[in-house]
Structure 1
Amino acid sequence: MKTANTTEIPHLAKRVAALESELIAFRRDLHSHPELSFQEHRTTERILKTLEDAGLDPVALEGTGAYVDVGSGKIHLGLRCDIDALPLHEETGLSYASQREGIAHACGHDIHTTVMIGVAKVLKQLDDEGQLNGRIRVIFQPAEEKMPGGALAVIEQGVLDEIPRILALHCEPRIDAGTIGTRIGAITSASDTIKIELLGRGGHTSRPHLTEDLVFALAEIAVNVPAILNRRIDVRSAVSVVWGQIHAGSAPNAIPATGYMAGTMRCLDGEAWSDAADLLDEVVNQVAQPYGVEVKLEHTRGVPPVVNTEEETDLIEEAARHEIGSNAIVLTPQSMGGEDFAWMTHRIPGAMLRLGTRTPGGETYDLHRGDYIPDERAIATGVRVMASAALHAIAFPRQTLQVIPQDAEPTD
């Protein structure tokens, strides 16, 4: 791919520019009506109708989500986006802000969905003109935010069965709109959820020796479990345990009989992720043991890292060079965030790119924040790069078809 002759592949800037206003309107409609994981019924209906109006024949998935094939013949590439929102209060103050209290598109999935709608429309135009010499499958996946992710449901329904390679994108508010970020290898991290309940004798704070001093035990777990895990696992795997909830007690002079804490465990590589499950249980119980409390640990396995294959990363970069230029491609660091696209790249070769959404010279936001405002010019960039990647995949098929056994262990 690095030396591919792309002179026969059309440039897409004018086509995408002609669609930009309607794509922005579509995105704002989704943004105003966010829906949680596996509840994306209106979103799915909007996707299906928009694709049908474009002359396509989309297929609804079980529950929510959809996919559509554009073109004919064998499938050369899958393109995947996620469609769900988050249980967050929106704080943007935008005229098209969420109309649903406590639910917001704060991770950019409305942008992702809109990009893939645009890609499907552009490819349909090319197909009608006889310029699409193969088939591309565009997947609108539900429930990325609900571990272990809606990607597994998509896979179970056979949507990937004919696809030799797959690409996805994710908004990145730390790089400017008009640019993309790529990297070979792991681009996200493994991510699990941890919930711990402690039970013990409560009592008066003047006599902690007659209790299990449960609050102190919670504090010990909160501080020492992350520290011990960092010493028990190779530091290059960067295991990170961060607590998001700790609850216990209701009075300053009463030691409670129950306590609760919850957080996430993240690992940079799949090997550490595989090893960490048993080790977490061991360490939590070792730390709690001196205090005599009963420990109930719920460790929910989430997702392995997304591992970008070299050939699929080259495909993205070649398409980006063709459409937006080499200067618009930056090296992106591995994220500590989790992403269920990993289940797809665990089965077939694939790669994810980072789509810059920061307004040049503007504020740097973060994902999963109620005030996140992406620059909508990123939509056109995403459509151009992903549609061009589809054309490149047809023109330059994968050199070596890689079939990954479905029971294979995740790697880094």
Structure 2
Amino acid sequence: MSESVPAPRTSEAIIAAALDAHEAELIDVRRDLHAHPELSWSEHRTTELVAERLEKAGWRVARLAGTGLLADLGEGPRRVALRADLDALPVEDDVPDSWRSTVPGVAHACGHDVHTTAVLGAGLALAELQQTTGLPGAVRLIFQPAEEVMPGGALHLMSLGALDGVDRILGLHCDPGVDVGRVGLRSGALTSAADLLEVQLTGTGGHTSRPHLTGDLVFALAKVTTELPAVLSRRMDPRAGISVVWGRVAAGQAPNVIPRSGSVAGTVRILDSDAWNECEQVVREVVAELVAPYGVVARVNYQRGVPPVVNDEDSYAVLVEAVTAVLGERGIAAAAQSLGGEDFGWYLEQVPGAMIRLGVRTPGGPTYDLHQGDLRVDERALGVGARVLATAAHAALVTVR
């Protein structure tokens, strides 16, 4: 009787087995990153930790000037990229875990420690696949600094050739409103454009008993604060979903003194790319009109931030297949477009791609919010994110779309 020949292992099985083997390591990496967060453009330790582990796994690693790295594996005419962001936020860490931040006033409050670890895990799984069966093309890992500042580190990496030869790019972002074991997917726009806006007013100043003899700067500032969002809703297409929200208003110190200067600062968020391109000019025109009656001078500082993340249909289809293969159909959660900004959108201006929303909430547990110091994640999400990205990267190389 002849011996039976075992069936060849599928790519999904190899990826799953590799990540099972690395599960404890990935949790340790994530906790290490969480305990040692680094702000935008200062991610030196994080970069080196990732670089050393990828080099050990056989990736060709290029450390970039400053911080961040590119890592390549495999050969072929097609190349897919996976992107992670490295930086933390200037937020105090309020989690009670033993791996809480050791850096005062700095925390991974947006989950970039999860993003970095998941893409690293995908890299380790793809390295195992390369050693076992070989990859059907090339994969690039992009570990990007400075996602949390505008206009974001993506533009810097693109200037260094991060997208050279890349046919498709995939990424992920934590979603604390989705249970672990599920992934939010959406074709089309996933996030909004996001810009920074500051309006500075100056005048002659004076006494509050004589507002007719000086520019009433605080009154004018109040008009800008309240009227600019309202006027924009009439001057621009309402379907663009423009939202102006202020985070800081400052003017004066004494109740009976009209100050000589004041300012208001916030964000402008827009769902539509075309409206984003025209918004700055409209904002400048409206501010000038609003302050004209009050004898003050307005200076508008408008900083364009990031475009919307727009998932293309083919990349979305690749991710649907990958999530279904890893988690089954029930693993897919419908993702709504949000007004959050993500500089992943810059990459999608150059090559097709898509981003997933990775569920990090413990089922039945509390729902946390991003950019808050008490953000906690279910660490089972690390393996989920890594498996989905590795599976999708392989699928993108073998499927012509």
Same fold (TM over 0.5): yes
**Pairing 1:132-281 to 2, within 5 Å after superposition:** 132-281=135-284
User: Within 2, Cα distance between the matches of 1:55 and 1:275?
Assistant: 47
2:333 to 322, 330, 333: 330
User: Is it true that 1:20 corresponds to 2:19 in the alignment?
Assistant: no
Give the corresponding residue for 2:3. Answer: none
User: 1:4-403 counterparts in 2 under 5 A?
Assistant: 8-11=10-13, 12-397=15-400, 399=401
Deviation at 1:205, TM superposition (A): 2.0
In the alignment, the residues of structure 1 paired with residue 64 and residue 12 of structure 2 have an alpha-carbon distance, to the nearest angstrom, of 32
Tell me if the contact between 1:75 and 1:137 (Cα under 8 Å) persists in the aligned partners: no
Structure 2 unaligned spans of 5+: 1-8
Deviation (angstroms), 1:133 = 2.5
Task: Provide TM-score, normalisation by structure 2.
Answer: 0.95
Of 245-254 and 348-357, more deviation after overlay is shown by 245-254
Contact 2:179/2:359, CA 8 A, preserved across alignment: yes
The CA deviation string for residues 50-101 of structure 1, in whole angstroms up to 9 with x for no partner, is 1122232211112110011122333431111111111111111321111111
1:9–1:392 contact (8 Å) kept in structure 2: no
Shift of 1:305: 0.6
Instruction: Could you tell me which runs of 5 or more consecutive residues in structure 1 were left unpaired when the two chains were aligned.
Output: 1-6, 400-412
* Distance in 2 separating the partners of 1:98 and 1:202: 46
Deviation at 1:265, TM superposition (A): 0.3
State how far apart, in whole Å, the 2-side matches of 1:317 and 1:297 are: 43
SS of the counterpart of 2:12? coil
Task: Please say which of residues 209-218 and 317-326 is displaced more in the overlay.
Answer: 209-218
Secondary structure of 2:293's aligned partner: helix
8 Å Cα contact 1:89/1:370 also seen in 2: yes
The residue type equivalent to 1:345 in the other structure is: L
Q: Identity percentage over the alignment?
A: 50
Residue matched to 1:410 = none
RMSD of aligned alpha carbons? 1.3
Separation in 2 of the partners of 1:62 and 1:180? 34
SS at match of 1:81: strand
Q: Which AA in structure 1 matches 2:50?
A: I
How far apart in 2 are the matches of 1:376 and 1:56? 25
- Contact kept? 1:221, 1:287, Cα under 8 Å: yes
Once the two structures are TM-superposed, the CA of residue 132 in structure 1 deviates from its matched residue by 2.2
TM-score between both structures, scaled by the size of structure 1 = 0.93
SS in 2 for 1:112: helix
Deviation per CA, 1:73-132: give whole Å up to 9, x if none. 334311111111111111113211111111111111110000011011011111111242
Q: Is the Cα–Cα contact under 8 Å of residues 40 and 87 in structure 2 kept in the other structure?
A: yes
Instruction: Determine helix, strand or coil for the equivalent of 1:23.
Output: helix
Q: Deviations over 1:166-214 (max 9, x none)?
A: 1111111111111100111110101100011111122222222222121
Contact 2:192 2:309 in 1 (8 A): yes
User: 1:405 maps to what in 2?
Assistant: none
Worse overlay, 63-72 or 325-334: 63-72
Query: How big is each residue's C-alpha offset from its partner over 1:357-399, in whole Å with a ceiling of 9 and x where there is no partner?
Result: 11111111111111111111111110110000011112213x2
Corresponding residue SS for 2:358? strand
* 197-206 or 265-274, which deviates more: 197-206
Question: What secondary structure, in the 3-state scheme, does the structure 2 residue paired with 1:243 have?
Answer: strand
Paired residue type of 2:352: P
Output one character per residue of 1:265-298: Cα deviation in whole Å (capped at 9) or x when no partner. Answer: 0100101101111100000111111111111110
Give the distance between the partners of 1:361 and 1:127, measured in 2 at CA: 39
Question: d(CA) in 2 for partners of 1:314 and 1:360?
Answer: 27
SS in 2 for 1:373: coil
Count, aligned residues: 392
* Cα-to-partner distance string for 1:112-166 (whole Å, 9 max, x where unaligned): 0000110110111111112422221111011111111111111111121111111
Q: Distance in 1 between matches of 2:336 and 2:254?
A: 45
Q: CA deviation at 1:8?
A: 4.8
Q: Runs (4+) of structure 1 moved beyond 4 Å?
A: none
